[in-house]
Amino acid sequence: MLWLSLILFAIVLFLVRDSKVRKVDHFFNIEQAEAESFNAINIKSLVKKQSWQKFKESTSPTLMILGPRSFLYIGLYVVVCIIVSWYFVVKLLLMTNMMLILGLSLLATFFGYRFLVTKRRRDFENTFPDALNIMMSSVTAGESLMQAISYVGEIMDNAVGREFKLMGERLKLGESPEVALQRSCKNYPYPEFLFFTVTLRANIARGGQLKGVLARLIRVLVEARTLEKKKMAMTSEARISAKIVAAIPVIFMLLLNYVSPDNVHFILYDPAGRIVLFYVLGSEFLGLFIIWLLVRGVRT
- Dist CA 8 CA 71 (whole Å): 27
Is residue 300 in a domain? Answer: yes
Q: What is the pLDDT of residue 243?
A: 80
Decide: 24 and 189 in contact? Cβ < 8 Å.
Answer: yes
- Dist CA 293 CA 299 (whole Å): 12
Is residue 53 in a domain? Answer: no
Q: What is the pLDDT of residue 33?
A: 38
Is residue 271 in a domain? Answer: yes
- Dist CA 25 CA 13 (whole Å): 19
Residue 68 is classified by DSSP as: T
Considering its fold, how many domains does the chain have in total?
Answer: 1
Decide: 27 and 198 in contact? Cβ < 8 Å.
Answer: yes
Range of the structural domain that residue 281 is part of:
235-300
Is residue 191 in a domain? Answer: no
Q: What is the pLDDT of residues 144-190, one digit of tens each?
A: 778 888 888 888 888 888 888 888 888 888 888 888 888 888 888 88
pLDDT, average across residues 186-209? 79
Find the Cα–Cα–Cα–Cα dihedral 128, 10, 55, 175, rounded to 10°.
-30
Task: Identify the H or E element spanning 134.
Answer: helix 98-140
Name the more confident of 274 and 2. Answer: 274
Is residue 289 in a domain? Answer: yes
Q: What is the pLDDT of residues 270-300, one digit of tens each?
A: 888 878 888 888 888 888 888 778 777 655 4
Predicted TM-score (pTM) of this structure: 0.68
Q: What is the pLDDT of residue 46?
A: 44
pLDDT, average across residues 209-231? 79
Name the more confident of 32 and 240. Answer: 240
